């Protein structure tokens, strides 16, 4: 059996091209000359086939224009010579005789030539003929009103009520107990402290972390406190025995934020390894590892309805996650700088995100953008919002801005007072939270103190009016 010689695909293609060229090269100069007459007929047939409707409309519009011109000329002639007779041709050899005094335009003759003049001008005296106007164009345009800027609601100003000292390092996180009796703080001294909310006295200190405590969460259904820190550890504390009962291992670097799901026993954590992890609270199993961010995931929040998990990252994006599938369903790229804080509104189906460029509001579940809240020109580390619509943002330079949630109006701003003996560089606010009633605001700061703010009970709309100037807002926004 004779062996078949194998060739490369490149060689076979060129051989095929050569055979094709040799086959048809003899016919190259034998093509017939182009007939101009046939070419024009071909183009006219193709144009008629594709654009016949356009051609017909152009012809009808031209006929209507000529008819109106003839009528106007007849009107001029009738004024100068009443006995003169006009001749209006219908496109054929036989003219139509029209008396100049009446100048009646025969509607049936015009319709035979597809002149499409409206019936209102078909039988009109010459002195009253005007160019036809489409009736639909006579609709009066209603002037569009300028977008209305809603007036912000009045909120009482806030003032400092108590300063609590006790930590030996920067206070980095806060969690308020569901019964509103105590709150917990974590700091750079690696200690978790539990304080009485009413008196501000220390109730308990929990030690176990070997680095800064960065996140805390209190369960609403179990006597559990969860903590995470820069030592990559996620711990579950049993508050009946005041000791650690579970560890959740999996993060490859510091853990910066955590959140508990409100209805199911699931814990969400996020950190410097650019991931958010979902844990089964009881079995310690890592259910999902939410990957997609390209930098530190600084904030994670959880809610009962979709999207159940929302994360904000230093890669300037916000991601909305499907908890069942463990996949990202939406990525919001509106921010231009790192997103350090995300907060859910307690009653509305909305959330806000903070970045050094501005604060943005979004509507769930698709993450529709609502508005920008601009003015806090600092690195915004934290935010909090209560049911009354008071949004608070805390900056790295110790500034606090109070906003009306609905309108984004800044009704109060001030610099948090420093603890005596602290340096100016220790003016940062790292975390803040409202208590369960929304009447007290707790802040964790870089001067190693915890500050509690309350509304000024003596303030009223007369003493602290809303300085609302919509004309300035219009120039600024529109």
What's the pLDDT tens digit per position in 362-397? Answer: 999 999 999 999 999 999 999 999 999 999 999 999
Average pLDDT, the chain: 84
CB neighbours (10 Å) of residue 287? 14
pLDDT for 35 = 82
Question: Sheet containing 449-455: which strands, arranged edge to edge?
Answer: 158-165, 449-455, 440-445, 429-434
Q: Among 300, 372, 373, 370, which Cα is nearest to 339's?
A: 300
Residues sharing a CB contact under 8 Å with residue 331, sequence separation 6 or more, in sequence order = 292, 317, 318, 319, 320
Q: Among all chains, which residue has been given the structure tokens 């400092």?
A: 160
Cβ atoms of residues 416 and 451 within 8 Å: yes
Q: Write the burial class of residue 469 (CB in 10 Å: 0-12 exposed, 13-18 middle, 19+ buried).
A: exposed
pLDDT for 94 = 47
The beta-strand segments (E) located in 142-264 are: 158-165, 171-176, 182-187, 191-196, 202-207, 213-218, 224-229, 234-238, 243-247, 255-260
Full domain range(s) for residue 413: 158-455
For residue 140, being part of any structural domain is answered with: no
pLDDT for 334 = 94
Least confident of 171-185, 243-257, 415-429: 415-429
Intra-chain end-to-end CA distance of the chain, in Å: 86
For residue 438, being part of any structural domain is answered with: yes
Question: Sheet containing 255-260: which strands, arranged edge to edge?
Answer: 255-260, 266-271, 276-280, 286-290
Give the pLDDT band of residue 76 (cuts 50, 70, 90).
low
For residue 277, being part of any structural domain is answered with: yes
Indicate whether 4 pLDDT > 80. no
Better-predicted residue by pLDDT, 97 or 174: 174
**Mean per-residue pLDDT for 86-113?**
44
pLDDT for 268 = 97
DSSP annotation of 388: T
Indicate whether 284 pLDDT > 90. yes
For residue 34, being part of any structural domain is answered with: no
What's the pLDDT tens digit per position in 105-128? Answer: 444 444 444 444 444 444 344 444
Q: Among all chains, which residue has been given the structure tokens 């093509």?
A: 31
Phi-psi region at 194: left, alpha or beta (left = phi > 0; alpha = psi -120 to 50): beta
Q: Tell me which range, 111-120, 320-329, 466-475, is most confidently predicted by mean pLDDT.
A: 320-329
Indicate the pairing of strand 85-89 with strand 429-434: unpaired
Q: How many residues can be counted in the chain? A: 478
| Whole-number percent of the chain with pLDDT over 70 | 80
For residue 49, being part of any structural domain is answered with: no
Least confident of 139-153, 190-204, 290-304: 139-153
Q: Among 362, 392, 398, 403, which Cα is nearest to 379's?
A: 398
**Residue 297's CATH number:** 2.130.10.10
pLDDT for 53 = 74
Q: Write the burial class of residue 336 (CB in 10 Å: 0-12 exposed, 13-18 middle, 19+ buried).
A: exposed
* CA 255 to each of CA 120, 230, 289: distance values in angstroms, whole numbers, following the listed order: 80, 6, 14
Residues sharing a CB contact under 8 Å with residue 362, sequence separation 6 or more, in sequence order = 318, 332, 350, 351, 352, 353, 368, 369, 370
Least confident of 26-30, 52-56, 166-170, 266-270: 26-30
For residue 109, being part of any structural domain is answered with: no
- Tokens standing for 439? 């009447």
Give the pLDDT band of residue 134 (cuts 50, 70, 90).
very low
| Reduced DSSP (H G I as helix, E B as strand, rest coil) percent helix, strand, coil of the chain, to 5 | 20, 35, 45
What's the pLDDT tens digit per position in 35-55? Answer: 888 888 888 888 877 777 777
Least confident of 49-58, 67-76, 135-144: 135-144
Give the pLDDT band of residue 356 (cuts 50, 70, 90).
very high
For residue 78, being part of any structural domain is answered with: no
Least confident of 153-162, 253-262, 413-422: 413-422
Domain count, the chain: 1
Cβ atoms of residues 329 and 322 within 8 Å: yes
Indicate whether 291 pLDDT > 90. yes
Give the pLDDT band of residue 1 (cuts 50, 70, 90).
low
Q: Among 108, 116, 139, which Cα is nearest to 68's?
A: 116
**Mean per-residue pLDDT for 253-260?**
97
DSSP annotation of 71: H
> Cα–Cα distance between 201 and 164 in angstroms, integer?
8
For residue 382, being part of any structural domain is answered with: yes
What's the pLDDT tens digit per position in 238-252? Answer: 999 999 999 999 999
Q: Which residues pair with 194 in a beta bridge?
A: 184, 204
Give the pLDDT band of residue 142 (cuts 50, 70, 90).
low
Better-predicted residue by pLDDT, 414 or 144: 414
pLDDT for 384 = 97
């Amino acid at each position: 059996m004779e062996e078949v010689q194998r060739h490369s695909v490149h060689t076979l293609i060129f051989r095929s091209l050569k055979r094709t060229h040799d086959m048809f090269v003899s016919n190259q100069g034998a093509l017939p000359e182009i007939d101009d007459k046939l070419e024009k007929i071909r183009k006219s047939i193709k144009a008629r086939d594709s654009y016949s409707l356009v051609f017909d409309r152009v012809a009808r519009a031209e006929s209507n224009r000529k008819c109106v011109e003839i009528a106007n000329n007849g009107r001029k002639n009738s004024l100068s010579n009443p006995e003169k007779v006009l001749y209006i041709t219908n496109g054929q050899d036989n003219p139509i005789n029209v008396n100049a005094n009446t100048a009646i335009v025969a509607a049936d003759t015009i319709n035979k030539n597809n002149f499409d003049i409206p019936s209102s001008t078909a039988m009109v005296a010459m002195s009253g003929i005007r160019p036809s106007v489409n009736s639909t164009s006579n609709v009066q345009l209603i002037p569009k009103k300028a977008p209305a800027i809603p007036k912000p609601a009045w909120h009482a100003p806030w003032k400092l009520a108590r300063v609590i000292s006790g930590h030996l390092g920067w206070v980095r996180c806060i969690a308020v107990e569901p019964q509103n009796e105590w709150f917990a703080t974590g700091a750079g001294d690696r200690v978790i402290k539990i304080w009485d909310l009413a008196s501000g006295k220390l109730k308990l200190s929990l030690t176990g972390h070997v680095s800064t405590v960065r996140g805390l969460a209190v369960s609403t259904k179990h006597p559990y406190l969860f903590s995470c820190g820069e030592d990559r550890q996620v711990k579950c504390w049993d508050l009946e025995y005041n000791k650690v009962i579970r560890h959740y291992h999996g993060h490859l670097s510091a853990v910066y934020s955590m959140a508990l799901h409100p209805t199911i026993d699931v814990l969400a954590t996020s950190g410097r390894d650019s991931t958010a992890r979902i844990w089964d609270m009881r079995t310690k199993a890592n259910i999902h590892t939410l990957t997609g961010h390209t930098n530190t995931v600084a904030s994670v929040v959880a809610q009962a309805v979709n999207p159940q998990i929302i994360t904000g990252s230093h890669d300037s994006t916000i991601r909305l996650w499907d908890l069942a599938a463990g996949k990202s369903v939406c990525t919001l790229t509106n921010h231009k700088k790192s997103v350090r804080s995300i907060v859910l509104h307690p009653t509305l189906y909305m959330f806000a995100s903070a970045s050094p460029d501005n604060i943005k509001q979004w509507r769930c579940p698709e993450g529709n953008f609502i508005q920008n809240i601009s003015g806090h020109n600092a690195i915004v580390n934290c935010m909090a919002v209560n049911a009354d619509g008071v949004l608070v943002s805390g900056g790295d330079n110790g500034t606090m801005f109070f906003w009306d949630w609905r309108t984004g109006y800044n009704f109060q701003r001030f610099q948090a007072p420093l603890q005596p003996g602290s340096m100016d560089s220790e003016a940062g606010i790292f975390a803040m939270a409202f208590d369960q009633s929304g009447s007290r605001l707790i802040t964790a700061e870089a001067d190693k103190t915890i500050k509690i703010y309350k509304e000024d009970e003596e303030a009223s709309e007369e003493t602290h009016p809303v300085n609302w100037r919509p004309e300035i807002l219009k120039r600024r926004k529109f």
